[in-house]
Structure 1
Amino acid sequence: MNYFLTYTVYVLILSVLMGISTWKLFKKMGYSPLFAFIPFYNYFIILKETEHPKWWAIFSYLPIVGPIMMSAFHIYLMKKFGKSLVKDQLLTVILPFIYMATVNYSKDAEVEDENSNDLFITDEEKNAKKKDTFLGSITFAVVFATIIHVFVTQPFGIPTGSMERTLLVGDFLFVNKWSYGYRMPMRPVAIPFLQGTIMDTGQKGNPKDDPKSYVDGIKLPYTRIFQFSKPQKNDVVVFNYPRDSVHTAIDRKDPYVKRCVAVAGDTFEMRAGRLFVNGKSETVLGDQEIQHRYIVNTGSQLDIPALYKTYGFLPVQEVQGEKGYIYAFQGLTDKTAKEIKQLPQVIDMKEDITPKGEAAVYYRDEAKTKIDTTQSIFPINQPWNQDWYGPLRIPKKGDVVAVNNETLPLYQWIISQYEHNSLEKKNGKIFINGKEANNYTIQQDYYMMVGDNRDASLDARFFGFVPEENIVGKPMFTWMSLQGAFSDSSSTYQAPFKVRWDRMFKATNTGEANKTSYWWVAAMILILFFGWEYFMKLFGKKKTEDEA
C-alpha cells in the first residue's frame, strides 16, 4: 500500500508540473487548460494532436519507461508549436518543465499547421519527416525492450564458476521476474538496461563515486505483487547481493545467482565440505554434480589445455616447486578426480578440506585490525569456515530472536540494513530505534543461497542470509553460451573461446539432467519478427499504390 501511495504522489507531482508548464498550449490547441493537469489524458491529447498512436499514453507515468516516453511526448508538443531545432529538443529533454514553461508563457507561441503547405513541401522537409518517423520507431523499440526488461524478464550473464557445472561460465540467461511475485521497481527514474552504474571508473577510485544509472533521490518503497510462491529448496535463484554497500536501492544492487539450499526455518550445516539441511544430507538433483577442491603434487608439468578439452570446466592454480609442481584444482567431480589421480605425473592427491574450528576470517590490513566482512565467514564471531559451518537456523518471519553481544553479529545486518531500523551499542547495551532491546521480531523470510561448486563460491556462508526483498526470480533458459567469454582470475589457464551450441535455448531451472530445448521458441520469434516486417512492407506498398 505504501508503494502505490508513494507512486500516486509521484504521478500527481509530475502532472502538476506538466499542467503548470503547458496549460496555455493546451488552450491554444482548443482544449480546456485543466486537461493539461490530468494524468495520462494530457499525453493522450498530445499524441492525438501530433498524429501519433494515442495508446502510447499508457506508458507515460510507468517507472523507468515513463521518463523516456515523456521526453518523446514533450518533443512532439514542442514541434507542434514550431520548436523543432536540435537546441529545442535538447532543452526539452534536459529541462522539460522549465523549457516548456518558457514556451507556454511566451506571447508568440502558436500552433504550427503541419498540413497547410503539403503541396509545396520540399525534399528536405520530406526527409526531415522520414527522419522523425524513424526516430519515433527507434524510440518505441527502445521503450518496448525496456518494458520487457523491467516488467517481464531480464538477461543475466554468468561470469564466475560458482554454479559449475549446473550453470557454466559464459552462460547468458533470461530471468523470469514473476517466479516469486513481481517486485515493483524502486527507482522510477533510471537509464534503461543498466543495473547500477553507467561505467566503472577503475580500481583506484571509490566504487561509490561511479556515476549511477538511476536517480537515487526519487525512490519508491519495496513491494511485491502476485506472490503465489516463494523460493523452495533446490531452486536456482537470482537475487541482489545483500552486502552491496555501493547501491542503497535494493533492486540496483549487483545480481547474483546461487542455489537455494535452505529456506526460512531450516537449519543449515556443512560437515567436511558436505552439505546438510535439518540434519539430513542434501538431495542431489539430475543437473547437479558434486564437486570438491583437490591439491595435486606432480613430478612434472601437467598438460592443462589437454585436460580442459577432456573434462571441460577445470580452473586450476599452478605453482612450480623444488621437486615438481603443485596444482590446486577447483570443482573436480569424484569421477574426474579419480582419473586425474591415475595420471603418470601425479605423486599424490588429496581433497583440500579446511580443518574444523579454523575460522575463515580475513583482514583488510597487515596489522589485522580491520576485518574484511565480504571475504570472512558469517557471522565473524563463530569458529566456522566454508567446510565446517553451522549448524545455523535460517530466520523466519515472526521469529523472536534474542539480541545480545553474542548474537548481534548474526542479526545486526537484518536489524539495521535489511529491516531498516536504527541500531547502536551504548555502555554494553543494545538499542533498537532508540529503545533498549534484548529481543527482536523478524519482519521477513530469509534464505541460504550457496553455489553448486562449493569450494569456488562466495555465497551465503560469507555474506549471510538473503532477504526475501532481494529476490529477483528464477532463470528460465540459456539463450547464449560462450566459453572463454569471461576471464578467470582463479585459474592459471584461460579457456579457449567457443560457442556452446548444445546449451543454447535450454531450460535452466528444472533439476533434470536432460533439459527441455526452446529452439522452437527462438525460431518462432524470428519467423514472426521477419514475417511481420515483410507483411508491413507489403501492406505499405499496396496502400501507396491504392492511393496513387
Structure 2
Amino acid sequence: MNYFVIYSLYVLLLSLLMGISTWKLFKKLGINPLFAFIPFYNYYLILKKAEKPAWWTVFAYFPVVGPIMISVFHLYLMRLFGKTSTTQRVLTVLLPFLYIALVNYDAKTELEAPEYLLPGEEEEKHGKESFLGSVTFAVVFATVIHVFITQPFGIPTGSMERTMLVGDFLFVNKLNYGFRMPMRPVSIPFIQGTIWDTGEKGNPKDDPKSYVEAVKLPYFRFPGWEEPKRNDIVVFNYPDDSVHIAIDRKDPYVKRLVAEPGDVMEMRAGRLFINGKPEVRMGDAQVQHSYEVYTSSQLDIPSLYDLYGFLPVVEQQTTNGYYYHFQGLTDDVAKELSQSSLVLSINEIIEKKGDKDLSYYPDVNKSIESQSFVPSTKINYSSTIFPHDKNWNMDWYGPVTIPKKGTTVILTSQNIRLYEKIITVYENNTLELKDGKFIINGRPTEKYTFAYNYYMMVGDNRDASLDGRYFGFVPETHIVGKPMFTWLSVEGLFQDQNSSYQANGKSLRWDRMFKATNTGELHKTSYTWLAVLLLIVFFGWEYIMNFIKKFKK
C-alpha cells in the first residue's frame, strides 16, 4: 500500500483517539468539541489556548518528531486543567490517550483559573518556561536535522582507510539521492537501532529496540538531484543485519560504490575491473591491500605509524628475523617500505583462484537437481563469499553483472543463488522450485524483472573490508545518503583487534575537521562556516526570537 495512504490512516487513527479522549476538555475550553477530532487543527487550538507558538502544529504528525511534539501538546493541555504534578506529567507522556481520557470523562475536571503571581515570581516562572521552551526547541530542531537532512555517522573500522580514517565522524547528506521517509515513525531520537547491548550471552534480537516495530510504513523515497554513481562514497544500511527488520534501522555502513546498475564487476588477483577495464580511481582514493614482510631485524612500527598513519600490523619473531602481516598498504607505501635495508622480502597476499571464502556451504547444485530447492537460511553471510555457490574469494571475484531496475533475467540453477535474496528479501516475493520450474508468488516462470536498482559497495582497504563481496548487492531501498564533511576526527578512539600496535592515547586530528568528503579531490573544501551557523541556530534560537520580538516593538 502507498506510503502516504498508510501514513494518513495513522494520522486519522491518532486524531480519532485524540477526539475521543479530549472532546469534553475542548468543550470546557469554549471550543467546539468536534474540533478535537480534526488533525492538526486540534493541536493548533491547544497551542493558542496555552499561548504557545502555533506554528509548532506543523510538527504534530512528522515521523519521529511527531511523538515528541504530541507529548508536548498534551502536557500543555493538561496544564490548562491543573494536571502539573510529576506523576500526572509522566502519565500524560507514557499513557497519553488513556490518562487524558480519564481526565476528560472525570466529572470533577475543571479549567484551572489563571495563577496570580507577584512580579518577581512571574519573572521566575517566565524564565523557567523560557528555558524549557528552549530545550524543547533544541531537541526538536536537532531531531528534524537528524531525521530529515543530515545524520552523524562514525567510522569505527579501517575498511575505508586511508580515504576515511578510523575515528572520523561524518555528517551524511540524506537529500542528494532523494530523502527516504522513515519506516518506523515512532522511535527514540538519535538512536539508530538498539538502545543498549544486553551482553555476549544474550540474543541480540532480544535487545531493547529504539523504535516501535508494530508501527511501520513502506519504503518511499523522494526524488533527489543526483543518482548514486560509480566512485561515490555512500552510507547505506547493512543488508544482512539480522537483528533489525526495518530497513532504515539496520546498521549503517560506509563503502565506495564501485559498480552501478548494469555494470560488470570483477576482481582479478586483487585488482578491480569494471566492464572489463581496470577501475578508474578518484584523486583521494587510497586503495590498499594486505602484504607479508620478512625482515632481518625488528621494524620501528611506531615510527612507521607516525610516518604513514593508520597501519594495522601483526608482528612475529622468526628464526631468521621478523615476520609482519600488514593489513593494508597502498602500492606507494609498499614500494617505499621495500626499499628499507631491513626488508628481506615483501609480497602482496593474494588468495588462490578457485578457493572459496567459506564458513558454511550447502550442496546447492545437488539440492537444485533433486528439486528440493529451499531459499538458504543457514549461511553465515558475514564470512562467506557471495553468491554462495561460486568458487570465488576476495581477490578472484566475478565477473558479475549488477542488477538494474526493469532488466529481465532468465532464472537457472546456475544463477538462482545470485538472485535469490533479491527476489525473496529485497522485493518481497515467494520463491520455490516445483517439477523443475521456479515458482514466484505461486506462478511458474523462467524469468524475473528487477523492481529496484542495485549497487556493488566495496571498501578501499580491499583485504580488510566486509563489503558487497560478502553481503552481495545493495538495493536502492537501503541507501542512506552521501557523506558531506568530517565534523570530528579522533585518533586512537577505536582500537584494532587485528593489530599488534595501537595508537598511544587519543588525539584530535584538527586538519580533518569540517573538511569535505566524497569530492575526489586531495585538497578538501572547509565547512566550518556551516558548523558555526548550525551551532548558532541550535543554541541561540531563543535569543534570536526574543531579539526579533523586541525589534518589532
Give the TM-score normalised by the residue count of structure 1: 0.93
SS at match of 2:383: coil
Report if aligned partners of 1:425, 1:431 keep a CA contact under 8 Å in 2.
Answer: yes
Deviation at 1:539, TM superposition (A): 7.8
Aligned length: 538
What residue in structure 2 maps to residue 460 of structure 1?
Answer: 468
1:67-104 Cα offsets, whole Å, 9 max, x none, are: 00001110110110011111100110111000000010
Residues 426 and 65 of structure 1, relative CA distance in 2, 3 Å threshold: same
In structure 2, distance between residues paired with 1:61 and 1:69: 8
1:394 maps to 2:393: no
Match of 1:436 among 421, 444, 447: 444
Does the 8 Å CA contact 1:275/1:282 hold for their aligned counterparts? yes
Instruction: State how far apart, in whole Å, the 2-side matches of 1:83 and 1:491 are.
Output: 59
Which of these residues, 400, 406, 417, is aligned with residue 414 of structure 2? Answer: 406
2:286 is aligned with 1:289: yes
Report the CA distance between 1:438 and its aligned residue: 2.4
Asked if the contact 2:141/2:538 (under 8 Å) is kept, the reply is no
Match of 2:242, SS?
A: coil
Report matched runs for 1:489-508 at 5 Å: 489-496=497-504, 497-508=506-517
How do residues 43-82 of structure 1 correspond to structure 2 at under 5 angstroms? 43-82=43-82
| Cα pair 2:361 2:388 within 8 Å, conserved | no
Corresponding residue for residue 219 of structure 1: 216
| Alpha-carbon distance in 1 for matches of 2:102, 2:126 | 26
Instruction: Please state how far the C-alpha of 1:29 moved relative to its aligned partner.
Output: 0.4
Alpha-carbon offset, residue 533 of structure 1: 6.5
Secondary structure of the structure 1 residue equivalent to 2:463: helix
Deviation at 1:540, TM superposition (A): 8.7
The verdict on how the C-alpha distance between 1:542 and 1:225 changes in structure 2, with shifts beyond 3 A counting, is: closer
Cα deviation, residue 362, structure 1? 2.0
Pairing 1:59-138 to 2, within 5 Å after superposition = 59-115=59-115, 117-119=116-118, 123=121, 127=124, 130-138=127-135
CA distance in 2, matches of 1:184, 1:458: 27
Matched residue type, 1:515: K
Q: CA deviation at 1:128?
A: 5.5
* 1:279 aligned partner: 276
Residue 503 of structure 1: how far off its partner (Å): 0.9
Q: Does 1:158 align with 2:155?
A: yes
Checking the alignment, whether the CA contact within 8 Å between 1:374 and 1:463 is kept in structure 2 is yes
How many angstroms does 1:435 deviate by? 2.6
Q: Tell me which moved more, 65-74 or 330-339.
A: 330-339
Question: Hey, what does 2:142 align to over in structure 1?
Answer: 145
The alignment status of 1:11 with 2:11, answered yes or no, reads: yes
Amino acid aligned to 2:501 = Y
1:184 to 2:193 alignment:
no
Q: CA deviation at 1:427?
A: 6.2
Alignment partner of 1:324 out of 321, 327, 333? 321
Structure 1 counterpart of 2:117, which letter? D
After superposition, the Cα gap between the structure-2 partners of 1:370 and 1:4, relative to the gap in structure 1 and judged at 3 Å, is: closer
Letter in 2 for 1:161: G
Q: Distance in 2 between matches of 1:83 and 1:126?
A: 22
**Residue in structure 2 matched with residue 423 of structure 1 by the alignment:** 431
Cα distance, 1:248–1:524 mapped onto 2, change above 3 Å = closer
Looking at structure 1, the residues matched to 95 and 269 of structure 2 have their Cα atoms a distance apart, in angstroms, of 61
Aligned to 2:365: none
- Write the distance in 2 (CA, Å) between the matches of 1:29 and 1:192: 33
Partners of 2:247 and 2:478 within 8 A in 1: yes
Contact 2:138-2:538 within 8 A present in 1 as well: no
Residue in structure 2 matched with residue 308 of structure 1 by the alignment: 305
The structural deviation recorded for 1:361 is 1.1
Q: Distance in 2 between matches of 1:95 and 1:530?
A: 31
SS in 2 for 1:473: strand
Distance in 2 of aligned mates of 1:533 and 1:445: 45
C-alpha separation in 2, matches of 1:70 and 1:531: 24
CA distance in 2, matches of 1:81, 1:276: 70
Separation in 2, partners of 1:59, 1:204: 41
Q: Which residue of structure 1 lines up, in the alignment, with residue 194 of structure 2?
A: 197
Q: Which residue of 2 aligns with 1:232?
A: 229
Distance in 2 of aligned mates of 1:36 and 1:512: 56
**Alpha-carbon deviation of 1:144?**
0.9
- Cα 1:454–1:183 shift into 2, 3 Å: same
The alpha-carbon deviation at position 126 of structure 1 amounts to 6.6
Distance 1:2 1:85, change over 3 A: same
Contact 2:134 2:542 in 1 (8 A): no
TM-aligned CA deviation for residue 530 of structure 1 = 7.2
- Partner residue in 1 for 2:337: 340
Contact 1:359 1:384 (C-alpha < 8 Å) held by counterparts:
yes
Q: Which has the larger displacement, 328-337 or 306-315? A: 328-337
Counterparts of 1:538 and 1:48 in 2: how far apart (Å)? 22
Q: Name the stretch that deviates more: 344-353 or 182-191.
A: 344-353
Give the whole-Å Cα distance in 2 for the aligned partners of 1:407 and 1:539: 65
Deviation at 1:321, TM superposition (A): 3.2
CA distance in structure 2 between the aligned counterparts of 1:183 and 1:83, rounded to whole angstroms: 39
Question: Relative to structure 1, is the Cα distance of residues 131 and 531 closer, same or farther in structure 2, using a 3 angstrom cutoff?
Answer: closer
The correspondence for 1:263, drawn from 249, 260, 263, is 260
- 1:526 deviation in Å? 5.1
Hey, what's the Cα distance between the residues in 2 that align with 1:530 and 1:10? 33
Could you tell me which runs of 5 or more consecutive residues in structure 2 were left unpaired when the two chains were aligned.
Answer: 363-376
Partner of 2:519: 510
**CA distance, structure 1, for counterparts of residue 25 and residue 498 of structure 2:** 62
Q: Superposition RMSD on alpha carbons, in Å?
A: 2.4
Contact 1:162 1:454 in 2 (8 A): yes
Aligned-partner Cα distance in 1 for 2:94–2:456: 44
Per the TM alignment, residue 429 of structure 1 is displaced from its structure 2 partner at its CA by: 4.6
The superposition leaves residues 114-163 of structure 1 with CA deviations (integer Å, 9 ceiling, x where unpaired) of 25x235x895x875564344223212210110000001110111111111
Measure, in 2, the Cα distance between the counterparts of 1:372 and 1:84.
53
Distance 1:383 1:494 in 2: 36
- Residues 438-490 of structure 1 show CA distances to partners (whole Å, capped at 9, x for unaligned) of 22111111001111111111110111000001111111111111111111122
CA contact (8 A) 1:364 1:370 kept: no
Are 1:298 and 2:295 matched, yes or no?
Answer: yes
SS at match of 2:329: strand
Structure 1 pair 371–53 and aligned structure 2 pair: CA distance change class (3 A): closer
Unmatched tracts of structure 1, length 5 or more: none
Question: Aligned match of 2:529 in 516, 520, 533?
Answer: 520
Note if 1:484 corresponds to 2:483. no
1:319 is displaced (CA, Å) by: 2.6
Give me the whole-angstrom Cα distance separating, in 2, the residues matched to 1:100 and 1:364: 57
Shift of 1:5: 0.5
1:361 aligns with 2:358: yes
Cα distance in 2, alignment partners of residues 427 and 88 from structure 1 = 65
CA pair 509-542 structure 1, distance change in 2 beyond 3 A:
closer
Aligned to 1:172: 169
* CA separation of 1:56 and 1:523: change in aligned 2, threshold 3 A: closer
One-letter amino acid of the structure 2 residue matched with residue 83 of structure 1: K
2:479 matched residue in structure 1: 471
**Under a length normalisation based on structure 2, what TM-score does the superposition of the two structures give?**
0.92
What is the identity, as a one-letter code, of the residue corresponding to 1:304?
I
Q: Contact conserved, 2:240 with 2:381, CA < 8 A, in 1?
A: no
